[in-house]
C-alpha cells in the first residue's frame, strides 16, 4: 500500500489548508501557529516532491498517536472520523511502516542533523497537528525553556501556562549541562509529568551529537542503543531524563523507521515463502 496516499487521507497537510478555503478556523490556526505558537510559517511552503517521504514520515508518528487514542472529548471525536474509519488494512499499513506501537509509545524524539530541516519539520509537524486535531501546539527552544524554569521560581508566566496546557508541546533541543541545569530539568520533568496525567503529549526535536551526528549526516543506520549512549554522555543520570528522551515509551525518528522497514521486509519474505 502507498504510505503517502494513506497519510493524505487522515492528516491535513498544512501547505494545502492554511488559507482557510475549506474551514474559516484554518486561517485562525495558521496565524496562531505562525506567530503565537513559535512554529513560524514555514509550513506554508509546499515541499518538493522528493522531500514528501521525509515529511510524511516525520509528521505521521505524533499525529497518529494522538488520533489513535481518540480520548480528546466529544468535539475531538466528532472531528477525528477519518482515522478510525480507515480500513483496518490501511491503519495496519501505517503502523507497520512507522513501526509505531500506540499502546507503548507516548512521546516522540526526532533527531535531525540539518539545521534548516529541523526548523522546517517543526513547522510542518506543529501545523499539521493543529489543522488535523484543531488543538494548539506550543513550540519552544531549550533556551526559552531555561528562562521559563528560572522565572517559575518567582511566578507563573504565560510561557509556563502554555507549556502545561497546549495540546502538543514541542521542544527544540534537549540541552546540555550548564549552571542551574538541575533546576531546568527538574522543572521540565514536573511539567511533562503533569501533561502526561492530563493525556497531553510532547515531542523533542534535537540535534544529534558526535558519532551520531556523523552517522545521520551520512544517512547511515543508527540504533536506539547509540541514542541512549549519546544522551548518557551528555546528561548526568541524576537529571533522570532517560525515560523522557529515549526510553522504551519514546518513539525515535529515524531509528524506528529503520526497524519498521526491516519488520515489513521480513513479513514480505514470509508471505512470499
Q: What is the DSSP string of 8-58?
A: HHHS--HHHHTT-SS-HHHHHHHHHHHHTSS--SGGGSPPPGGGHHHHHHH
Domain count for the chain: 1
Write down the pLDDT at residue 110.
Answer: 98
What is the reported pLDDT for 273?
39
Whose grid coordinates read 524506528?
Answer: 256
User: Taking 50 as the threshold, does the pLDDT of residue 263 lie above it?
Assistant: no
Mean pLDDT of 53-77: 85
CATH of the domain at 119: 3.40.50.300
Residue 23: C-alpha distances to residues 16, 28, 30, 123, 189 (Å): 12, 10, 12, 20, 37
The answer to whether residues 108 and 253 touch, using CB atoms and an 8 Å cutoff, is yes
* Distance from C-alpha of 255 to C-alpha of 100, rounded to nearest angstrom: 11
Boundaries of domain holding 157: 3-272
The span from the CA of 38 to the CA of 172, in Å, is 10
Q: How many CB atoms lie within 10 A of CB 122?
A: 26
For the chain, the 3-state helix, strand and coil shares in percent, each to the nearest 5, are: 60, 10, 30
Phi/psi class of residue 268: alpha, beta or left (left: φ > 0; alpha: ψ in -120 to 50)? alpha
Q: Which residues contact 23 (CB under 8 A, 6 or more apart)?
A: 17
Among the residue ranges 116-130, 173-187, 193-207, 234-248, the one predicted with the least confidence is 173-187
Q: What does the mean pLDDT of the chain come to?
A: 89
Taking the CB of residue 151, how many other CB atoms lie within 10 A of it? 14
Cβ atoms of 154 and 185 within 8 Å: the answer is no
CB 37 within 8 A of CB 139: yes
Q: CA–CA distance from 68 to each of 5, 57, 84, 95, 227 (Å)?
A: 18, 16, 7, 10, 26
- Give the model confidence (pLDDT) of 246-260 as tens digits: 999 999 999 998 754
pLDDT of 167 > 50? The answer is yes
What's the distance, CA 147 to chain centroid? 22
Q: What is the pLDDT of residues 2-52, one digit of tens each?
A: 999 999 999 999 999 998 888 888 999 999 999 999 999 999 999 999 999
Amino acid at each position: 500500500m502507498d504510505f503517502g496516499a494513506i497519510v493524505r487521507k487522515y492528516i491535513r497537510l498544512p501547505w494545502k489548508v492554511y488559507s482557510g478555503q475549506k474551514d474559516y478556523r484554518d486561517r485562525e490556526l495558521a496565524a496562531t501557529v505562525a506567530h503565537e505558537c513559535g512554529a513560524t510559517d514555514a509550513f506554508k511552503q509546499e515541499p518538493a516532491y522528493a522531500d514528501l517521504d521525509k515529511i510524511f514520515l516525520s509528521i505521521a508518528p505524533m499525529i497518529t498517536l494522538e488520533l489513535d487514542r481518540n480520548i480528546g472529548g466529544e468535539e475531538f471525536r466528532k472531528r477525528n472520523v477519518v482515522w478510525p474509519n480507515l480500513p483496518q488494512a490501511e491503519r495496519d499499513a501505517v503502523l507497520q511502516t512507522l513501526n509505531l506501537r500506540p499502546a507503548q509509545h507516548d512521546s516522540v524524539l526526532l533527531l535531525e542533523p540539518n539545521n534548516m530541516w529541523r526548523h522546517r519539520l517543526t513547522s510542518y509537524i506543529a501545523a499539521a497537528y493543529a489543522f488535523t486535531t484543531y488543538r494548539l501546539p506550543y513550540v519552544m527552544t531549550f533556551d526559552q525553556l531555561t528562562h521559563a524554569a528560572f522565572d517559575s521560581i518567582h511566578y507563573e508566566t504565560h510561557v509556563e501556562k502554555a507549556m502545561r496546557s497546549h495540546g502538543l508541546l514541542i521542544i527544540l533541543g534537549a540541552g546540555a549541562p550548564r549552571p542551574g541545569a538541575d533546576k531546568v530539568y527538574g522543572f521540565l520533568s514536573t511539567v511533562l509529568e503533569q501533561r502526561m496525567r492530563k493525556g497531553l503529549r510532547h515531542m523533542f526535536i534535537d540535534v544529534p551529537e558526535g558519532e551520531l551526528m556523523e552517522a545521520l549526516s551520512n544517512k547511515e543506520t543508527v540504533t536506539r542503543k547509540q541514542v541512549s549512549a549519546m544522551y548518557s554522555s551528555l546528561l548526568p543520570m541524576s537529571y533522570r531524563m532517560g525515560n523522557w528522551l529515549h526510553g522504551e515509551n519514546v518513539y525515535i525518528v529515524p531509528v524506528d523507521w529503520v526497524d519498521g522497514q526491516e519488520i515489513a521486509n521480513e513479513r514480505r519474505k514470509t508471505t512470499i515463502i
